[in-house]
A and B are shown apart, each in its own frame.
Chain A
Amino acid sequence: MELSDLTLKKARAGLENKDFSAKELVSATLERIQKLDPKISAFLTVCPESALKQAAETDELIARSQKLKALSGIPFSAKDVFSTQGIKTTAASRILENYIPVYDATAIKKLREAGAILIGKTNHDAFGFGSSTENSDFQVTHNPWNLNKVPGGSSGGSAAAVASGMGVFSLAEDTGGSIRQPACFCGVTGLKVTYGLVSRYGVIAYGSSLDTIGVITPSVEDAAFLLGIIAGPDPLDATTMPNPIPDYLESLNQGIKGLRIGLPKEYFIEGIDPEVKQSLDEAVKKFEKLGAKTESVSLPHTPDAIPAYYLSGISEVSANLARYDGVRFGYSSPEARELEDLYLESRAKGFGPEVKRRIMLGTYALSAGYYDAFYKKAQQVRYLIKQDFDRVFQKVDLLLAPVSPFPPFGIGEKAEDPLQMWLADIFTVTINPAGVPGLALPCGFTKNNLPIGLQLIGPQLSEGVLLKAGHAYQSQTDWHKRRPSLSA
């Protein structure tokens, strides 16, 4: 068994054919984490005991010739915003440093019920606020392709883990690019779903009208398989959509002859790194060769989508993070004598600088006298953004765009300038205000061997089409199969 290029498909086949046991797979994964993670720092928590116990139980079922469940014996990681019963869940923030949830998030529960084995919780920017994973209060994650570069963010630990074979896939969350951008920076596949397709129950909230749950995987095929398991309505999340879940695998091999792909001119702008531009141009040609028809389209409100996204996000942050009060859970300042001091001191010590910035900005945007100019204005612009997407999807089936204007940047390069960090997300934050899905795929490498990625964007609930198109591309290219050379 070679972990570095193990896909979910291969892992399932290997277990089914008894090429290896669940215990062998889980043990090898844990050993790989032990060897590689001191350099990469993708994991905040590793759970060897529960993982090995579950693996032994899986092997017992196999020995008794019981039919394997969809994900029996498959080791996976989850971003540390997913509540995991009995396993520390920190949101990568000091304020939750010792928080142990008493229940599982719905997505975790569904994966566990399908037999998957949680091997650990991955690092990210605290509460998802960032594009480099440098805003974690605990550690900086390194890009496995070049340890001096960031893995992207906020789900940088999840992407780095999948790229380096530490767990077959990772469960992650995307509010403004937090799945797509790190997947792109680490050369793996990342799926951001339609808002409401996957339950947010038990996921530590960032911006509740923008947060979506998805996966980071070695391939599109794997993402399609997993989406069928985690998607669907949940009585515990009233914003989940009631629509029936299609069989995403069934349509996967249908090909894309005649598919209309729009190239939004606002995403192919001056200032994109020339190597990124060149890879994107080649990918467009590839899609044309596969039978798609491409045309230039326009989403005129794209530049306004960035401030509208941030204003919506931070306003919701200000409300969502009010719960960290030092009373019911999380860090509580021992010195405080009165209730207000308890709030002020617990939040002062528990939150890092980016979290404080976003809470304060959101509080400002919602405060008396500024609400109309900031929050309400952002929601009005959001209407215009959604209208742009609705209109363009009357003409084309999908959009194709870069994920990031540049390849992975250096650790420390943007850390001191919060606004520059915000602008690293210009091509990813734009879709979340409209609730539409996006799929990030590797589409090339720079001459310095750093991954380049593209994203396909579709109308709400078009995951089947996105996955079909992504799979068609991956059937004819091998960018997604490349893995970093990591000396263990």
Chain B
Amino acid sequence: MTKLTTEEVKHVARLARIGLTEKELEKFQNQLSSILDFVGQLQKVDTAKTKPLNQTTGLKNVWREDLVTPSLSQEEALQNAPEKFNGYFKTKAALK
């Protein structure tokens, strides 16, 4: 079984923007490793000549007229915002 290293778990948590505690790190290291081991069994399937299938119904390029349709008001769009200011979403500093 290939076990993920602590560094790998930290890296993937960082990519996923999920803060982990030390305890979670250890627990997830084991759990994620055993699941990856399980899904890794796909490597045995011969797909050398197989195209990837990303959707199943075969629909392609669904178009509509480029017309203005009703949409949410600014007030509605902001209704669930944790913080807002002057009709905008307010957030924390992106640059240090």
Contact = CB atoms under 8 A, between A and B. Distances in A.
Nearest to B17: A343
B28 A356 contact: yes
Interface string B26-55: 011001101110111111010100111111
A435 B28 contact: no
Contacts of B18: 344, 347-348, 351, 356, 359-360
B92 A338 contact: yes
A356 B57 CA distance: 30
A382 B35 contact: no
A344 B16 CA distance: 9
A245 to B, nearest CB: 15
B76 interface: yes
Nearest to B81: A328
Nearest to B91: A327
A382 B52 contact: yes
B91 A384 contact: no
A61 interface: no
A383 B52 contact: yes
B19 interface: yes
B56 interface: yes
B42 A308 contact: yes
Contact of A339 (B40, B53, B91): B91
A330 B18 CA distance: 15
B59 A239 contact: yes
Contacts, number: 170
Contact of B39 (A239, A332, A374): A374
A351 B50 CA distance: 36
Given A241-B59, A329-B80, A311 B39 contact: yes
Interface in A335-366: 336-345, 347-348, 351, 353, 356-357, 359-361, 363-365
A406 interface: no
Contacts of B82: 326-327, 329-332
A460 B82 CA distance: 42
Contact of A337 (B12, B47, B81, B92): B92
Interface stretch (A97-105, A123-131, A445-453): A97-105
A89 B10 CA distance: 31
A121 interface: no
Given A196-B57, A239-B57, A377 B47 contact: yes
B96 A338 contact: yes
A411 B24 CA distance: 23
B93 interface: yes
A9 to B, nearest CB: 31
Contact of B55 (A209, A242, A418): A209
Interface string A99-140: 110110000000000000000000000000000000000000
Interface string A146-187: 000000000000000000000000000000000000000000
B83 to A, nearest CB: 7
B50 A383 contact: yes
B3 to A, nearest CB: 13
Given A338-B93, A344-B17, A360-B12, A99 B42 contact: no
B55 to A, nearest CB: 6
B93 A339 contact: yes
Interface in A184-228: 194-196, 209
Contacts of B68: none
Interface in A269-325: 301, 304, 307-308, 310-311, 318, 322, 325
Given A360-B32, A361-B36, A377-B42, A383 B51 contact: yes
Interface string B5-25: 000010011011111110010
B38 A364 contact: no
B17 A100 contact: no
A433 B21 CA distance: 34
A15 interface: no
A378 interface: yes
A63 interface: no
A422 interface: yes
A361 B41 CA distance: 15
A379 interface: yes
23 contacts: A102-B72, A301-B45, A311-B42, A336-B92, A347-B16, A348-B20, A357-B28, A361-B32, A376-B52, A377-B47, A379-B53, A380-B47, A380-B50, A380-B51, A380-B53, A382-B52, A382-B53, A383-B52, A383-B53, A418-B35, A422-B35, A435-B57, A460-B56
Given A327-B82, A360-B16, A363-B15, 9 more contacts: A209-B54, A329-B80, A338-B92, A338-B96, A347-B17, A361-B32, A361-B35, A367-B12, A435-B56
Interface of A: 99-100, 102-103, 194-196, 209, 235, 238-239, 241-242, 301, 304, 307-308, 310-311, 318, 322, 325-332, 336-345, 347-348, 351, 353, 356-357, 359-361, 363-365, 367, 373-374, 376-384, 386, 418-419, 422, 433-435, 460
Interface of B: 9, 12-13, 15-21, 24, 27-28, 31-32, 34-36, 38-43, 45, 47, 50-57, 59, 62, 64, 72, 76-77, 79-83, 89, 91-94, 96
